Structure 1
Amino acid sequence: MSNATLKKRTGPVPVLTAEEAVRLIPDGATVAFSGAGGGIVEATAVIEALADRYHKEQQPSGLTYLHTTGLGDRADRGMSPIAIAGLCAKAIGGHWGQSPRMSELAETNQIEAYCFPQGVITQLFRSTAAGHPGILSHVGLGSFVDPRQQGGKLNEHTTKELVRLMEIDGKEWLFYPSIKPDVAIIRGTTADTDGYITMEDEPTFLDVLSIAQATKNSGGIVIVQVQRMVQARSQHPKTIKIPGFLVDAVVVVPEQMQTYQTESNRYMSGDLLAVQGGIEPLQLTERKIIARRALMEAFPGAVANLGVGISDGVGYVAAEEGVGEALTFTVELGPIGGTPAKGIIFGATISPRAVLDQPYQFDFYDGGGLDVSFLSFAEMDQAGNVNVHKFNGKIMGVGGFIDIAQNSKKVVFSGTFTTGGLSVQVNDGKVDIAKEGRFRKIVPALADISFNGIEAAQNGKEVIFITERAVFQLTARGLMLCEIAPGIDLQRDILDLLAFEPLISPELKLMDARLFQEEPMGLKQEWNAATV
């Protein structure tokens, strides 16, 4: 079936195999993918068929990949099967680390590679659909995406400047140009025979509608993988996420998983409400200590974001403390409320209160709607700059980090003090560093900046840095050590591991003793008393 035939259809939507669908992709096409880590809304069968076709025929070739967030399992799934030089010539992504073989292509200069903020890319799809030339945004100023730094370029092979610095009425903005997809590879749950798509089993909607609209209005082809087909008009119109006229071909995969880990978790799809207390508490490790201390920076009624990594434990601690309903957790992929999942299926949520399309979630974030965000750091320096996108030569990307950190009223960064073999034990309410990590994460100055601490301090943003042994606060003069854990030696376990002299608060105190006990901290009682 030709592309022209697909575009002119007036009858039922063509139902193709994954192998047939990828033959619609021409050489040199820009291909937009839906999906997030852990297989969320990922068209896995179509991606694998694309890889198989290239291995057999060396076609299509010279593709540009466009994806909002990171697909994969941090190993061989997601975008990794199609991380093939020759098949891919260029990639623009919000996050790379979930598909490490894509990162390797960029690290070895085999493709052009860009990393833009997740919110920017998802909004660009919507802008492209509307025929706009691009978007003006403050998101990314002062970071590696700023053209005065790297302009989002990830390697030496990438030379073209896509991001432009502009000034309007004396204020700086970044201009991100629209990118027109030739092909969309996206996923839903059910298609009717006219191509109308619902997403009832999916943990979130992501930006599938915006991708489909952008592709169709650019003259491209929209391929949707689903689990099942039903008769036309048999589904409630308010459940339709993608209208049939946007869909050129459907690939039915009856064995389609909800995530890599779940066939159909009804709590994640929002159909069932999890019993309070039914979520297993975290073990008392450095991760739980950090998550507990981070949660103390929240307050009743707060609207918060939870980031991936060590910070994803905050939602579980909140549930354990019985305060999960006292504040509203949001995840950049769209879920609101509930308990955000952790690990590779981060982005899914247990029993969410609502689920938005991803672009609208970022509209709220970018406008400053978040009261507090809980994010993880890979490296930070004495000025409060943070790097999460590229370290030790490895490309990870930023996801929604820049959008969230730059615009949240308060930012809580979490991470262990060192990494690489770090072993921490908690005994009798004290922290014991049984084995120090090989790599130091707090350095004098960063070469790659994902969050600009200097600009944040100038703007008066409240920024806290939490580790298992110390808490720092960002000041106009840089990092200030405010708290240390019981059992930690200030000189041996902190100062000797820093290649600079941090500011030390004249009111330096011990971290709360409740952080290091097995039983809950009693935050619910505290918060209830605070709201009386």
Structure 2
Amino acid sequence: MKINKPSRINGRVPVLSAQEAVNYIPDEATLCILGAGGGILEATTLITALADKYQATQSPRDLSIISPTGLGDRADRGISPLAQEGLVKWALCGHWGQSPRISELAEQNKIAAYNYPQGVLTQTLRASAAHQPGILSDIGIGTFVDPRQQGGKLNDVTKEDLIKLVEIDNKEYLYYKAIAPNVAFIRATTCDSEGYASFEDEVMYLDALVIAQAVHNNGGIVMMQVQKMVKKATLHPKSVRIPGYLVDIVVVDADQTQLYGGAPVNRFISGDFTLDDSTQLTLPLNQRKLVARRALFEMRKGAVGNVGVGIADGIGLVAREEGCADDFVLTVETGPVGGITSQGVAFGANVNTRAILDMTSQFDFYHGGGLDVCYLSFAEVDQHGNVGVHKFNGKIMGTGGFIDISATSQKIIFCGTLTAGSLKTEITDGKLNILQEGRVKKFVSELPEITFSGKIALERGLDVRYITERAVFTLKQDGLHLIEIAPGVDLQRDILDKMDFSPVISPDLKLMDTRLFTDGTMGFTLPGATH
């Protein structure tokens, strides 16, 4: 498909309104959109202009959307405005749940819908930039992206096989097809008159460069939203993340904000300021903090870990309370290294970050086994130790980086509550009291679709734990073993009766550490390094 582009005059990048820019998007284009949750690096002005144009003119039609990272607010932002019948016919996303209106089109079989692991997806875009047909990876073996299962297809109308099983030197790999995008929406803070762009006010970089290279090298058009422009060659070369020759159109939005709904720039999040140790951020003593505290017990000095969104994301704050946050390094798959992990839809907007990598490189490190430990939230667990997060209660959420992270981390800590749906607990007198049981059992006999394979983890020799507010399990060859229970709960009534299968009860079953259930600090010291 040939894409028309506006011409440069004397080397200057064309500067257009968002409404003018989206007129260059033809029917059946493949649009790759940069951005993460909470407004991180989201080219909102361009997305809105495209949605408005289609609503008014029914053009362009039948777009294919590629979104490596889940952008949105779990409601109406992100790519949700593009959820108009006829505008989108096909989507390949790393994460779906941040833009639920797009997910609803997939759930209703109104678009073809695929889910690659987030890291794999960004790597296929890098492959596309190099005109490689795809990538080989063992990430995803034994999960729903494996073609022996669902092959990454999310609904009944999705037919084409994008993932194949191959064998090389007696080892299984998945071949992920690289889809070549020909339109890009990316964002930066500043660019000069030739399109060279810097990210000084942004939270991170994500895979902005990879997306721009993929679209440019496939003859496409790169549209970049920025907050301001400066004179040619006035940006420091080390601050430039996007070279100007990759950019075809610049849209200036002087009101561009770092995140949704906040100040234009939070200098703590951009890394310009740091919080000192006197600024103590704490969590109240509740089931969320209880799980994070118990998860911290699995950490070791000198470890490099990953923390995922959800109930697991409290571990950094707990470590800060205990004075051991500097004894290990937590990373986020989108690029941040170290610091205080953010929570909620703007996950990854960390404070006191030590370094920020591009997302593709971060996943290279993960895929190669660089993680000592990871902390991930779960939706459901079955008797084989499999975990499901990408679909839950009929809703498509997508895997995000879950598969990439859990496939090779030496220790995998899944965090969650034993039940869901209006669960209410309190911690008093060193005990857990269940005030109202959750309506939904999260430990089920069999998962219909698998996001984490217990079988593959055991074959790879990985250490797997499942930590809840009332019980701790470990995975062995014969299934889940119950190894700890909370003081104040009844084994049969509060644990076994709330599971659809019977775990192996360890002969060494013990109470969870009483320090977990007390106010104030625990007086916890991290064990020494294991390597």
Please name the residue that 1:493 is paired with: 494
Query: How far is the alpha carbon of 1:261 from its aligned partner?
Result: 4.4
State the AA in 2 paired with 1:238. K
Corresponding residue number in structure 2 for 1:433: 434
Residues 215 and 10 (structure 1), Cα distance of their counterparts in 2 relative to 1, 3 Å cut: farther
Tell me by how many angstroms 1:527 deviates.
Answer: 3.1
Secondary structure at 1:365 match in 2? helix
Shift of 1:85: 1.5
Distance 1:166 1:84, change over 3 A: same
Q: In the TM superposition, what is the alpha-carbon distance from 1:5 to its structure 2 partner? A: 4.8
AA aligned opposite 2:67: H
Cα drift, residue 528 of structure 1: 8.2
Aligned residue number for residue 253 of structure 1: 253
Q: Distance between the aligned counterparts of 1:505 and 1:521, measured in 2?
A: 26
Matched, 1:74 2:112: no
Distance 1:513 1:217, change over 3 A: same
Counterpart amino acid of 2:12? P
Residue identity matched to 2:467: I
| Partner Cα separation in structure 2 for residue 351 and residue 193 of structure 1 | 32
Partner SS for 1:66: strand
- 2:452 is aligned to 451
Contact 1:277 1:319 in 2 (8 A): no
1:224 matched residue in structure 2: 224
Provide the residue aligned with 2:237 in structure 1.
237
Equivalence for 2:43? 43
TM-score by length of 1: 0.97
The CA deviation string for residues 182-226 of structure 1, in whole angstroms up to 9 with x for no partner, is 100010000111100100111110000000000000000000001
After superposition, what is the alpha-carbon deviation per residue over 1:321-374, rounded to whole angstroms, capped at 9, x for unaligned?
A: 121111101000001111121111102211211111111000000000000000
Partners of 1:272 and 1:460 in 2: how far apart? Answer: 42
Which secondary structure does the structure 2 equivalent of 1:348 belong to?
A: coil
Residues 133 and 178 in structure 2, CA contact (< 8 A), matched pair in contact too: yes
Partner of 1:508: 509
Per-residue displacement from partner, 1:162-196 (whole Å, max 9, x unpaired)?
A: 10110111111101111111100010000111100
How do 1:124-273 residues align onto structure 2 when only pairs under 5 Å count? 124-262=124-262, 263-273=264-274
Q: What's the offset of the Cα at 1:55?
A: 0.5
Matching residue of 1:11: 11
**Residues 8, 178 of structure 1: alpha-carbon distance in 2 compared, 3 angstrom cutoff:** farther
Residues 169 and 529 of structure 1, relative CA distance in 2, 3 Å threshold: closer
The residue number in structure 2 matching 1:278 is 279
Superposed counterparts of 1:293-308, under 5 Å = 293-308=294-309
Q: SS of the residue aligned with 2:364?
A: helix
Structure 2 letter corresponding to 1:153 = K
Change (3 A) 1:5 1:96: closer
Contact residue 271 and residue 351 of structure 1 kept, 8 A: no
**3-state DSSP class of the match of 2:271?**
coil
State whether structure 2 residue 25 is matched by structure 1 residue 29.
no
Alpha-carbon separation, structure 2, partners of 1:180 and 1:3: 13
1:4 is displaced (CA, Å) by 4.0
Q: CA deviation at 1:499?
A: 2.1
Shift of 1:498: 1.6
* Structure 2, gaps ≥5 residues long: none
The question of whether the paired residues in 1 share the 8 Å contact of 2:38 and 2:71 is answered with yes
Q: Secondary structure at the match of 2:66?
A: strand
After superposing the two structures, state which structure 1 stretch, 6-15 or 428-437, moved more.
6-15
Distance 1:7 1:214, change over 3 A: farther
Q: Does structure 1 conserve the Cα–Cα contact (< 8 Å) formed by 2:373 and 2:411?
A: yes
| Equivalence for 2:96 | 96
- Report the counterpart of residue 527 of structure 1 in structure 2: 526
* Letter aligned with residue 214 of structure 1: A
SS in 1 for 2:24: coil
Deviation at 1:459, TM superposition (A): 2.5
What SS does the aligned partner of 1:136 have?
strand
User: What secondary structure sits across from 1:23 in the alignment?
Assistant: helix
- 3-state secondary structure, aligned to 1:106: helix
Distance of 2:8 and 2:125 partners within structure 1: 23
2:430 is equivalent to residue 468 of structure 1:
no
* In 2, Cα distance between equivalents of 1:527 and 1:423: 30
Q: Secondary structure at the match of 1:56?
A: helix
2:63 equivalent in structure 1: 63
Aligned residues of 2:418 and 2:468 also touching (Cα < 8 A) = yes
Q: Deviations over 1:459-507 (max 9, x none)?
A: 2210000000000000111000000000010010001112221100000
- Identical aligned pairs, as a percentage? 56
Post-superposition CA distance 1:500-526 (Å, at most 9, x none): 211000000000111111101122xx2
**Matched AA of 1:278:** T
- SS in structure 1 opposite 2:97? coil
Which letter does structure 1 place at the counterpart of 2:120?
A: V
Partner of 1:106 in structure 2?
A: 106
Gaps of 5+ in 1: none
Alignment partners' CA distance in 2, 1:275 and 1:497: 44
| Cα separation, 2, equivalents of 1:337 and 1:315 | 9
What letter corresponds to residue 247 of structure 1 in structure 2? V
1:421 and 1:340 map into 2 onto residues whose CA distance is 26
Relative distance call for 1:7 and 1:149 in structure 2 (3 A) is farther
Q: Tell me if the contact between 1:458 and 1:476 (Cα under 8 Å) persists in the aligned partners.
A: no
Contact map agreement 2:301 2:528 (CA 8 A) in 1: no
The 8 Å contact of residues 266 and 272 in structure 1, kept in 2 or not, is answered as: yes
Aligned residues of 1:117 and 1:402 also touching (Cα < 8 A): yes
Cα distance in 1 for partners of 2:477, 2:268 equals 44
Counterpart-to-counterpart distance in 2, 1:444 and 1:3: 51
Gap change, CA 1:3 and 1:389, over 3 Å in 2: closer
C-alpha RMSD over aligned residues: 1.4
Find the aligned partners of 2:431 and 2:247 in 1 and give their Cα distance.
Answer: 59
Name the structure 1 match of 2:365.
364
CA distance in 2, matches of 1:120, 1:110: 25
The amino acid of 1:44's aligned partner reads T
The 2-side partners of 1:529 and 1:336 are apart by: 21
| CA deviation string 1:396-436 (max 9, x = no partner) | 00000000001101000000110001001111110011000
Name the residue aligned to 1:401: 402
Deviations 1:259-280 (A, max 9, x none): 1143211111111121124242
